[in-house]
Amino acid sequence: MKTMRRIVWISLILAAVLFSAGLVGAQEITIALGSEPTTLDPQLREDGGERAVNDNVYETLMARTPDGKLKPGLVASEPKLVDPKIWEVKLRSGIKFHNGEPFNADAVVYSVKRIIDKKFNSEQISFFSTIVDAKKVDDLTVQIITDGPDPILLSRLYWMKMVPPGYSKDAKFAEAPIGTGPYKFVRWNRGQNLVLEANTAYWGEVPPIKKVTYRFVSDAGTRLAGLMAGEFDVITNLLPEFTKKVPQAIHILGLEHPIIILNADAGPTKDARVRKALNLAVDKKALAEGLFEGFAQVAQGQLLSPSFFGFNKDVGPYPYDPQQAKALLKEAGAAGASIEIIGTAGRWLKDREMVEAVAGYWEAVGLKPKVRIFEFNEYLNRLFDRKTRADAIFVVSSNELMDADKSFSAYYKAGGIGSSNTDKDLAGLIDSARSETDPAKRAALYHKAVKHTYDQAYFVWLLNIEDVYGVSKRLNWPGRVDAKMLVSEMRTK
């Protein structure tokens, strides 16, 4: 009889333990990031680690659906253009910051002024360079003034996080963030972990996951080991090779576009036929299937993904046609030409391998590629060097604003920070598109620019890489196009 009682007791305790662990476990998740945030001030740094955390603590005026479409965030309705340079924003009412400060016009004006202030020296300034001022109309209405017509102002508002006017002046602001978002900051043991908990007083739907702990593990292998050992629920930047080893691999087309900028003004790549040949020589499908194990898609002959504004459906990738490439090279008298291609190592996912693979393909069509892998600082010198442009420069462009203007003005437009052509009418197209407020006309301009660049083959378009996350069995999360990890969209099974 006594043994029976003991067995019952033990099973009871066991059940309780399991149940509570399950309960607590179900509501708590751990996310392993590749790098630790340097600061938690949402407007100061261009830092992936900080964004991963603050995307849950702070909110923006505009937001996007998981598949990338713009939708109202903290605004009651989509801002309207009342004047070519003035946008009127109507705010939702009844929203408070975590410390109780009200979210109103004053908060928005303060947030806008704070980030564009030269003294503040924000590294995100390049996202908001067109905004000059913000004015309060009434408690729930704000006018944002730009230096000229700015068709992508809405995308910019999707990137600008709203900060509490009062508390943001406090020295602790960079260490303990206060926003309006679905998750509140709990604590940050530097080098160890960072904990957020669900904001029960959230204006929207209170998220099911009660507590999220962020861990910082820079080594891909160690992140994977942590997931396999059950210590993590989500790991970022999962290498394509590891996808077979993880319980779930979530992959979604991301913002990253590896591309090779060709020098259109000098050297063997001056001739458009050579540039075309360089595109035809590369088997992009093999790169996607082989190097990225299928977790990448062939770029569509333009520096845009289908979900970006300005994407031209009619332009497809250059086919893989080594014979035609050889013919074009012979025709251009550049059969055995030596082409210098500059790349990096360890900066972007498989950067070195892509450069070596492309060089291999060029060699296969008879060219003599000279691969120069540089340490990142040395590489940047060459990327930004306006005077002597290398024949070919490998770069990975990521376009957070998901709008053609950002990447086109940097790489397509003559004089852009990384561009290697002096094509006047292409530059004209991009400038006029920037000041065109009518979305349809603006899209048409970008389509023309895309077609023109495709015909001139100013670039070798390679891939559009997918963001791959390793996810534990018990978690359900479809992932987002804009690579944001919104915990509120995560569910535990």
- If the CB atoms of residues 68 and 240 are measured against other proteins, the closer one turns out to be 240
Residue pair 101/170 in contact (Cβ under 8 Å)? The answer is no
Q: Does 291 bind other proteins (CB under 8 A)?
A: yes
Name which of residues 243 to 282 contact other proteins (CB under 8 A): 244-245
Q: Which of 488, 478, 471 is nearest to 197 (CA)?
A: 488
Q: Does 356 bind other proteins (CB under 8 A)?
A: yes
**Residue 64 CA, distance from chain mean position:** 13
- Region binding other proteins by CB under 8 A among candidate stretches 284-292, 315-323, 421-429, 458-466: 284-292
- If the CB atoms of residues 252 and 287 are measured against other proteins, the closer one turns out to be 287
Closest contact distance (angstroms) between CB of 29 and other proteins is: 16
Q: Looking at the chain, how many residues does it have?
A: 493
Q: Which of 334, 357, 390, 450 binds other proteins (CB under 8 A)?
A: 357
429-441 residues labelled b (16+ CB within 10 A) or e (exposed): bbeebbebeeeee
Q: Does 474 bind other proteins (CB under 8 A)?
A: no
Q: For residue 486, give the DSSP letter.
A: -
Q: Which of 489, 16, 478, 488 is nearest to 252 (CA)?
A: 478
Residue pair 227/47 in contact (Cβ under 8 Å)? The answer is no
Residue pair 158/113 in contact (Cβ under 8 Å)? The answer is no
DSSP string, 64-96: E-TTS-EEESSBSS--EEEETTEEEEEBPSS-B
Strand partners, 369: 339
Q: Which of 106, 133, 197, 353 binds other proteins (CB under 8 A)?
A: 353
Closest contact distance (angstroms) between CB of 199 and other proteins is: 25
- Region binding other proteins by CB under 8 A among candidate stretches 1-9, 36-44, 93-101, 426-434: 36-44
Q: Which of 132, 174, 444, 486 binds other proteins (CB under 8 A)?
A: 174
Closest contact distance (angstroms) between CB of 111 and other proteins is: 19
Distances (CA, A) of 438 to 310, 413, 433: 13, 21, 9
Q: Which of 12, 13, 24, 46 binds other proteins (CB under 8 A)?
A: 46
Q: Which of 322, 360, 366, 428 binds other proteins (CB under 8 A)?
A: 360
What is the rounded distance in angstroms from the CA atom of residue 397 to the CA atom of residue 385? 17
- Region binding other proteins by CB under 8 A among candidate stretches 7-15, 93-101, 113-121, 438-446: 113-121
Q: Does 363 bind other proteins (CB under 8 A)?
A: yes
Closest contact distance (angstroms) between CB of 191 and other proteins is: 3
- Region binding other proteins by CB under 8 A among candidate stretches 135-143, 269-277, 315-323, 375-383: 375-383
Q: Does 305 bind other proteins (CB under 8 A)?
A: no
Q: Which of 61, 194, 217, 259 binds other proteins (CB under 8 A)?
A: 217
Q: Which of 142, 154, 234, 239 binds other proteins (CB under 8 A)?
A: 239
Q: Does 303 bind other proteins (CB under 8 A)?
A: no
Q: Which of 383, 450, 468, 481 binds other proteins (CB under 8 A)?
A: 383
Closest contact distance (angstroms) between CB of 230 and other proteins is: 8
Residue pair 152/309 in contact (Cβ under 8 Å)? The answer is yes
DSSP string, 246-276: SSEEEEEE-SEEEEEEE-SSSSGGGSHHHHH
Instruction: List CB contacts of 491: < 8 A, sequence separation 6 or more.
Output: 208, 209, 475, 476, 477
